[in-house]
Amino acid sequence: MSTRRKPPLSLGATVAALPRFGTDGWRAVIGESFTFDNVRLVARALARHLAAGSSGPTPVIAVGHDTRFLSPEFAAAAADAAAGAGAEVHVSPGHCPTPALSFFVRQRRLAAGIMITASHNPPAYNGVKFKGPYGGPAMAEMTRGVERCLHAIAGGTPVASQQPAKVRKTDFMPAYWRQVERFLDTAAMRRFRGRIVFNPMYGAGRGTVDVFLRRLGLDVVTLNDTANPGFGGLHGPEPIAANLADQAALIRRERAAVGLATDGDADRFGVLDGTGNFVQLHDLMPLLFRHLVRTRGWPGDVVRTTSMADTVDKLAAAEGRQVVEVPVGFKNVCEQMITRQVLIGGEESGGFGYHGHIPERDGVLSCLLLIEMLGASGRTIAQEVARLRRETGPFAYGRLDRYGDMDRLRANFDALRAAPPDRIAGLRTERVSLMDGIKFYFRGGGWMLMRLSDTEPLARIYVAADSDARVRRILAAGAKRLFG
C-alpha cells in the first residue's frame, strides 16, 4: 500500500538558485532552476573537480539520459560543457537505463558518469545523477567537490579548457547486455511457464526486459512502451501499486503469470502477481537473496536501508550472513558494496544491487533475475511469497507520500525528533532511531519511519506491522502528527 498527494502548484523553486545535491543527485523543475545554463554549470564543475583530482588533466566521462522532456538536449549540453572544460566525453546516442551507464563507466574505467534523469519524480522535473568510477552512485566526497567547483565557477573563476572539445557518441547497451547475460542462468529462465506483462512506464526501460525475454522464447506482452514525457498522466514513473492499475488489469485480462515494471530510468523495479496484486519489495529481497545463495553459492552479506523490513534478516541469519542497516539512499548501500563482500543490497523503493555485477540499483537485471528464480523453482511469485510468509510470519506494509509547506513540515518533524511520543496509535514506543529521519519501533513488533525529501517539498511515512489494518491505523496517526 502506497499513497501520495499531488504537489502544490508552486513547488518553491527559485530561478536564480544554484543546483543543490540531495541523496541521489540534483532534481528540479524544468525551466525554473533546471535550466540549460545550470546543467552546463554542473557539467563544467564535474570536469573541473575531476581534472583537479587523481583522474588526471584529461578526465574521461560518460553521459546518458532517460525519456523525459528535453533529456536528450540536456545530455548534449552537459557533454559539450564538460568537453569544453577539458574532459573527453562519451554520450549515449539515445535513452538508456541508468545501470547501463554505470556499467559502462566501470568497465571502461572512466572517471565518472552523468545521467540526465529525475527518476520517478513528476513530469515537470528533470535531474542529474553522478556516477563514480566503480559504477555506482557518487559518494559525498565527490558531490561536495563538485559543489565547491560549481560555486567557484558561478562566482566568476574561469574554467580553462585543457584540450579541444571532444565528444563521441557511444552505445552503452551492447557491453551491458553481455554482462547481464553472463550474470543470468538463461537455461533456468527458459523453464518459466506463463505469460509475462512488462511495463517500462514510458521510461528508459523501453526495449530491455521484454526484448531479452522474447529472445529466450518466452511469452511477453508490453504496455506503456512509448517515450512519453508526460508518463501517461501518472504523477511520476514510479513502479508502485497506485501507478500500475492498467498493468494489473492487463494481467487479469491476459491471464498472465506475472507483471514486471521499471521506473523512469530503469534502476528500480516493481512486480505484480498473477492476480494483479503488488508484490512487496520487502518480500522480493529475501526471496532473491535465498535464490542467489542456493544457485550461486556466492559469499557476501546483506545491506538494506532502514526503510526496508527485517524479513531478509531472518533468512540471512539462517545462512550465517550478516545484515548491515544503512540510511535511505542507494549511495549508502553502494558504499558498503565497494568496501565489503555484499551478496545483495537494497532499498524499499525497489532498487537492488548484486554481487558479481555493479554496486548500483538495476531494475532491468532485477526483473530478469526474478524470472530466473521462478523458472528454477517452478512456483508462481504468489506461491513464493506465501511460502516466505509461512516461514517468517505475517507482514504488512504501507507508505504515505504527502506534499506540503516545507517550513511547516520541518517544524513538525523537528518537534517529533526533540520529543518522541511514548505512544502512537495506541502502541507503546519501545525505542527510537535517528539514523535517518525518525524511526519508531513498537513494543510487540512493527515500526514507523518518517523522513523529509531532499529533492521535493515532500514528507514520507513508512509503516510495517503484522496486518493491513494496523498499518492503516499507524499511518493515520503518523500523518496527524507530521502533517497536522
Which pLDDT score, from 0 to 100, does residue 251 have? 98
Domain end call among 173, 192, 216:
173
Is position 266 within any domain? yes
In this structure, the answer to whether residues 315 and 437 fall within a common structural domain is no
d(CA 68, CA 66): 6
Asked if 280 contacts 310 with a C-beta cutoff of 8 angstroms, the reply is no
The answer to whether residue 193 is domain-embedded is yes
Among candidates 347, 267, 263, 268, which has minimal Cα distance to 307?
A: 347
pLDDT in tens, 366-375: 999 999 999 9
Residues 33 and 110 in one domain: yes
Cα dihedral 397, 360, 122, 246 sign: negative
Q: Which of 242, 276, 310 is the last residue of a domain?
A: 276
Do residues 15 and 153 both lie within one domain? yes
Q: Does the structure show a pLDDT above 60 at 160?
A: no
- DSSP for 10-37, please give it: -----TTPPP--BTTBEEEEBTTTB-HH
Sheet holding 112-116, edge to edge: 26-29, 125-131, 112-116, 60-65, 88-91, 166-169
CA 282 to CA 310: how far, in whole Å? Answer: 8
**Residue at which a domain ends, from 314, 346, 361:** 361
Instruction: Output the pLDDT for position 6.
Output: 45
Residues 331 and 407 in one domain: no
User: pLDDT tens digits for 218-272?
Assistant: 999 999 999 999 999 999 999 999 999 999 999 999 999 999 999 999 999 999 9
Does some domain include residue 229? yes
Q: Give the dihedral sign, CA 275/278/283/289.
A: positive
- DSSP-derived letter for residue 6 is P
User: Do 253 and 288 share a structural domain?
Assistant: no
Are residues 94 and 32 located together in one domain of the fold?
Answer: yes
- On whether both 41 and 127 belong to a single domain, the answer is yes
Asked whether residue 206 falls in the same domain as residue 322, the answer is no
Strand residue runs (E) in 5-150: 26-29, 60-65, 88-91, 112-116, 125-131
Q: Are residues 224 and 314 in the same domain?
A: no
Alpha helices in 339-436 (DSSP H): 363-377, 381-392, 406-418
Domain encompassing residue 147? 11-173
Give the phi and the psi of residue 215 in degrees, each rounded to 5: -65, -25
Q: What is the pLDDT of residue 2?
A: 52
Residues 45 and 111 occupy one common structural domain: yes
Domain count within the chain: 4
Is the same domain home to 193 and 151?
Answer: no
371, part of any domain: no
Cβ contacts of 484 within 8 Å, gap of 6 or more: 412
Strands 269-272, 258-262: parallel, antiparallel or unpaired by DSSP?
A: antiparallel
Beta strand segments in 269-368, E: 269-272, 278-279, 301-305, 323-326, 342-347, 351-354
Question: By percentage, how much of the chain surpasses pLDDT 70?
Answer: 94
Query: Does any domain span residue 387?
Result: no
With contact defined as beta carbons under 8 Å apart, do 98 and 204 qualify? yes
C-alpha to C-alpha distances, 324 to 27, 137, 317, 388, 397, nearest whole angstrom: 28, 18, 12, 21, 21
Residues 436-452 pLDDT 10s: 999 999 999 999 999 99
CATH code, domain carrying 287: 3.40.120.10
Q: Could you identify the residue written with the cell 517500462?
A: 200
Task: State the first-to-last Cα distance of the chain, in angstroms, to the nearest integer.
Answer: 22
448 within a domain of the structure (yes/no): yes
162 lies in the same domain as 217: no
pLDDT at 85 over 50: yes
- pLDDT, position 10: 33
Mean pLDDT, the chain, as a whole number? 92
| Cell digits of residue 30 | 524544468
